[in-house]
Structure 1
Amino acid sequence: MAHVATPVSVVTTVSAGTAYGTTVSAFLSLSMHPPMVLISLDAGSNLLAALKPGSPLGVNVLGEGQGAIARHFATKSENKFEGIVWQSDAGAPRLPELHVWIAGRVAEITPAGDHMLVLVNVEEADPGRGSPLTYWSGAFGTHSAT
């Protein structure tokens, strides 16, 4: 799968007063009516453990130049938000300077191999700005139109 370019997002939530976040590249639009997205999370993810149907969830689609943020949230540290600027938006942590912001609530969590598929009902979306951060062949980059 390393040869398939994917957008890079930091998926976030707050549960029992604690902010959780993780970097994902498996995120896609699922439905337009109603608006839904799908996120694939490792079954051992701390973020996944904080989610249940109805939980608020944010998808911070990163922009070009945000590779350091993607790497930071890909670590296994306990408090990933320490030293990170963010604001609460629709009940989930929103990072600054995003390519796209999507907020919603967990509709369903379904097992899929060593991952869990999180289906999210979208409640708001903000197109943000700039070019998206992508991951391809083991490196971060961006997309340019041809």
Structure 2
Amino acid sequence: MAGVCTPVSVVTTLDGKRPHGTTVSAFASLSMEPPMVLIALDRESNLLRVLRRSGRFGLNVLGVQQTACANAFARKGDDKFTGIDWIEDSGVPRIADVPGWLACEVEDLVSGGDHVVAFGRVRAARTAPGAPLTYHQRGFGTHSAL
């Protein structure tokens, strides 16, 4: 799968007022009517445990300038938001300056091997100009038009 170019995103949720997040490359648009996306989280993920309780998540689609953010959320630990600018928007954390952001309510959680697929109904969305951060051949980059 290293040969498949994927967008890089940070999935976020709140435990009370405390933000949690993790970097993912496994997400996709699922449906336009109703608007839905899907994300895949490791079965042992701390974020998944919080997501099960909160019932909602944010999907922060990172821009090419946000490699450090992707790396910060890819590591283990509870202090991933240290040094990250964010606000609460529609009940979930939205990271500053991301080109794409969605707030979703969990519709269903489905087992998928060592991951759990979360189906989310989109409740709010924001976009901004910017090239996306992508992951390909175990490295970060961006898309360029032909």
Bin the TM-score by the shorter chain.
over 0.9
CA contact (8 A) 1:101 1:128 kept: no
Q: Counterpart of 1:128?
A: 128
Q: Which amino acid aligns with 2:3?
A: H
Quote the Cα distance in structure 2 between the aligned partners of 1:43 and 1:64. 28
Q: Encode CA deviations 1:27-57: one digit per residue, 9 max, x unaligned.
A: 0001111000000000011110001376221
Q: Which runs of 4+ in 1 moved over 4 A?
A: none
SS of equivalent to 1:104: strand
| CA shift digits 1:60-114 (9 cap, x unpaired) | 0000111110000000012211222110011111111112111111111111000
Counterpart-to-counterpart distance in 2, 1:65 and 1:82: 18
For structure 1, the residue ranges without an aligned partner over 5 or more in a row are none
Partner of 2:137: 137
Task: Output the amino acid matched with 2:93.
Answer: P
Higher helix share: 2
> If the length of structure 2 is used for normalisation, what is the TM-score?
0.96
**Mapped contact 1:54–1:107 kept (Cα < 8 A):** no
Aligned-pair identity (%): 51
The whole-number CA distance in structure 2 between the counterparts of 1:54 and 1:122 is 15
Structure 2 unpaired stretches of 5+: none
Q: In the alignment, does 2:75 pair up with 1:75? A: yes
Residues 97-144 of structure 1: per-residue CA shift (max 9 Å, x gap): 112111111111111000000000001111221110000001100001
State the match for 2:85 in structure 1.
Answer: 85
What RMSD over aligned residues (CA atoms) do the two structures have, in Å?
1.2
Alignment size in residue pairs: 146
Deviation for aligned residue 1:12: 0.2
Cα pair distance change 1:107/1:53, threshold 3 Å: farther
TM-score of the superposed pair, with normalisation by structure 1: 0.96
